[in-house]
Amino acid sequence: MSMIERMRPRAGLRVLVTAGASGIGAAIAGAFLEAEAKVLICDIDGVALAEFAEQHPKVETLLADISNEAQVDALLDAASTRLGGLDVLVNNAGIAGPTGAIDELSVEDIRRTLDIDLMGQFLVLRRAAPLLRVSDAGLILNISSVAGRLGYALRTPYSAAKWGIVGLTQSLAKEMGPDGIRVNAILPGVVRGARIEGVIRDRAIAAGVSYAEMEAQYLSNISLRRMVEQEDVAATALFLASPGGANISGQAISVCGNVENI
């Protein structure tokens, strides 16, 4: 196998991407489809699922909320029947959560963020594990955030969940390594798109400054002074699924231009 070939995932990998109809999830799903993988995506947005499927006719889709245990069960059953098993799980689903001081946040908003961003990954993983154990290429990619290595004032539920994902990843890498399953976390930084625009807007309001001022503040905290593209995260996922990533496990890999502070 040439070095270039080692950098490509093998054709036919069976891949599940949660929240795969838009944003980072869609970029990752599209990249795996381009690499000739068999891909199933789920999402809570039926319109986005239909639009993605129209653009990618070979994809399998399912409407599912990963914070709902019964729907997670149906999702993994679909992976087994439609894909014939599972080689790669991309645990991507998550929400931005509330912005505000800790004593201003509602218990409902805190709980919802933790239920989706952290508990949702647990629910998917516990059902995916048996499928991955019988794969000869088992890989789990848990999508965290640079907020999983840096404290994030006014975004504490989100940051707490993303730190939890890193701990989950490192623990599972030890637990599942003897089964030949690799487990890594990808920590995107400030990724260009609708979500970060909403976050910057909300934080600007909370801080009493303009959107432009808050955006400039975000960029000033990135060594490269630019946002990450969704495709940058997808490229990292593809590499980790390639033979070149065969001995990378238990890692929290930032794709962020070196975010220094948030």
Provide the annotated active-site residues.
158
Which DSSP letter does residue 193 get?
S
For residue 158, give both structure tokens: 């989100």
Q: Is 258 helix (H, G, I), strand (E, B) or coil?
A: coil
CB neighbour list of residue 15: distance below 8 Å, 6 or more residues apart: 29, 32, 37, 38, 39, 40, 83, 86, 87, 88, 89, 90, 241
- Concatenating the DSSP letter of every residue in 6-69 gives HTSPPTT-EEEETT-SSHHHHHHHHHHHHTT-EEEEEES-HHHHHHHHHH-TT-EEEE--TTSH
How far is it, in rounded angstroms, from Cα 32 to Cα 38?
Answer: 8
